[in-house]
Structures are given as C-alpha cells and as structure tokens.
Amino acid sequence: MARIQLLVVKDKKTIDMTNLVKSVRWSGRKGSSARTITVAMIDDDGYRHARSGIDVADGNQCVFLVDGKERFRGILMNQNQGDNKQLKFKAYDNGIYLANNKDTFVYKNKTADQVFSDVCSRFGIPTGEVAKCSYKIPEFTKSKTTGQDAVLDALSLDYKATGTRHFISSDKGKLSLLQRKDQVISFVVDGDANLYGYSYTKSIESIKTRVKMISKEGTTLAEKSNSSLEQKIGIFQEIQQPDESLTKAQVKDLVGSVLDTLDDPEETLTLNILGDPDVISGKAILVKIPHLDISRAYYVDSDDHTFEDNMHTMSLTLTTAAEIKKEG
C-alpha cells in the first residue's frame, strides 16, 4: 500500500490537502518533456476539512509525494468542477516551459547538451544534471518553434551521429538531460508474481540487416551486415550520411552501433502491474514472462500510475532496450 501526500502552494503558503484527495493519476511518455499529474478531490466543506480554494489562474503549484519521497512538482494548469462536488485538476512539471515557449534557435558547432542548456536558460528553467554529448552539430537552425522541438531535434542529430540516446527528466523543479542506457533500475516484472495482464507484439517490418555509411558524393565510407539474420529473412539495407567531421574510426564505430539498434525485431509490451514509483518513462526494467519466453531489459516508453483506494497500480508501454541487451 502506497502512502501518498499532496501539498498545494497558493498565496505563498504550502497547504497539505491529502485528506481531500480521492484519486491521483501520474503519467509521462517518451517524446514529451513534461510529466503530468491529475488529481480528483472533494470540493465541499465538511467535517474537519474546508474546500481547497484552488484557482489555476493564480499560479497554484503542487508537490506530490509517495512514501515520503517527492515524485512530482509542478504548476496547476487546468481545473474542472461539477455538481458532484468534486474538483479535478491537472498539473505539469517544469518541462511544460520547454513545450509551451517558442523562439528561433540558431547554433553553429554546438553539442545537443549545449542546445539544451541554452534553451533552458532562455526561458528561465533551472537545470540539474546535464549529460555531455560528444557530437558538435555543424549548423542547426529552428525557426519559430518550441524549445522542446529544438532540443529533441538536436538530440536526434546527436543519436544519428553517435548512437547514444538521451531523454529529458524533471526532479524537484530542475530539468535534466540524461543518457537513457544509464537509467536501469532494479525493478523486475515477474509474470508469476506482480503482473495483472499484458499484451505483446513483435514485428520485423522496420528491421535492417545491414547499414551503409556514404559520403555526400555517394562513396561508401563504411558498412556492416548481420549475415546470419540475412540468411533467415533476406537483405534489408539502411543508408546514412555521417557528418563530415567524423574520422574513419568514428564512422566505423557508428555503423556498428546503428546496426545494433536496427537488426532486432521491434517488440512492444503493454503491462498492467502493481505500482512502483521508480518505474517511469526513460527508465529501463527487467521483464520476465515465462509464457512468452521473455527475460530481458525493456525501456519504459510511457507510464500511467494510479493511486486510489489505498492501491497503487500502473500501466506501462515498453520497447526493447537493444543497447542494454548487447552490452550485457
């Protein structure tokens, strides 16, 4: 049983409103810089409690804790009230300031982490840990777009050049840029113990058996193939043009890392399971489902945690963590 606490900050005062809470839904997904929380609460004066007095137009903030540990901090942005005397509000963490601010971004020979830091600085977003990116993007211009799109596009260019995945995360009011493969947590999904239900799909529709790196003139710089896989399914080739600043050794490393992420079937798992607040999008967990002969690491692409009636459950969408599997 999870012990939750909801603190609401309004008029510069922090008020514990846990006794008004009926349910909490806390969620996030890959590709979104902001996590959200949706709270349903009593909206009526009663014995030993008063109405919340929440008004999103006043810039109310909230902090959500599970078993004494802060899990969410953000600004209330939407509220709904009805004749059932219930109030429901939705709050976003400070990643929303990346998603809801637009500008024109122009960079030359900057890394993706430098783009991230500059965008956060423009919009007054405090930052925490910022993982370093090695690839310097020669020219990068994004006109009249959101800070989120600028950062995600820079990270996409870094991934194409290095094969390293990153994601954005918010903790205690600070936005961080983290390497995805470093986010493995000690949580095990056990099909015989804590799993309520699942759905599993496997597809080779996007699989590649070989990767070729070519120059701007069309000259082959490096290539690598998975010959054993080609004997089973035939040839499916990917062509990419690496940045001209990369050395021959770097291009050779890159072609291998790209193939490693493309030569596996695409697997997607959706799980309904007992909740654990450490399991959120961007993290990697170990999944064991004997019926499917599965025992491997998966990335959490989306998570939806529900706290209601003293129960904590979660629904997860997972995808293969190819880098973790192949690094052992």
Of 72, 92, 112, which residue is a domain's last? 92
Both 20 and 74 in one domain: the answer is: yes
In a domain, 173, yes or no: yes
Both 222 and 176 in one domain: the answer is: no
Both 220 and 233 in one domain: the answer is: yes
C-beta of residue 301 within 8 angstroms of C-beta of residue 246: no
β-pairing verdict for 184-190 and 284-289: parallel
Both 134 and 48 in one domain: the answer is: no
Of 44, 64, 92, which residue is a domain's last? 92
Both 256 and 277 in one domain: the answer is: no
Both 35 and 127 in one domain: the answer is: no
Of 40, 66, 92, which residue is a domain's last? 92
Q: Residue ranges of the alpha helices (H) in the chain?
A: 96-99, 112-122, 147-162, 227-233, 248-262, 322-327
CB atoms within 10 A of CB 166: 26
Q: What pLDDT does residue 325 have?
A: 55
Provide the domain count of the chain: 4
Both 112 and 134 in one domain: the answer is: yes
In a domain, 327, yes or no: no
Q: What pLDDT does residue 188 have?
A: 83
Both 199 and 314 in one domain: the answer is: yes
Both 275 and 313 in one domain: the answer is: yes
In a domain, 328, yes or no: no
Closest alpha carbon to 322 in 191, 132, 180, 227: 180
β-pairing verdict for 86-92 and 294-308: unpaired
**pTM of the complete model beyond 0.75:** yes
Question: Nearest 10 degrees: CA dihedral of 271, 272, 278, 283?
Answer: 10
In a domain, 46, yes or no: yes
C-beta of residue 187 within 8 angstroms of C-beta of residue 279: yes
In a domain, 48, yes or no: yes
In a domain, 45, yes or no: yes
**Rounded Cα distance, 206 and 4, in Å:** 42
Both 194 and 284 in one domain: the answer is: yes
Q: Which helix (H) or strand (E) holds 195?
A: strand 195-203
**Rounded Cα distance, 304 and 307, in Å:** 10
**Rounded Cα distance, 276 and 278, in Å:** 6
Both 308 and 198 in one domain: the answer is: yes
Tell me which residue range forms the domain holding 222: 210-262
- Which residues in the chain come in under a pLDDT of 70? 1, 46-50, 322-328
In a domain, 286, yes or no: yes
Both 227 and 126 in one domain: the answer is: no
CATH number at residue 310: 2.40.30.150
In a domain, 152, yes or no: yes
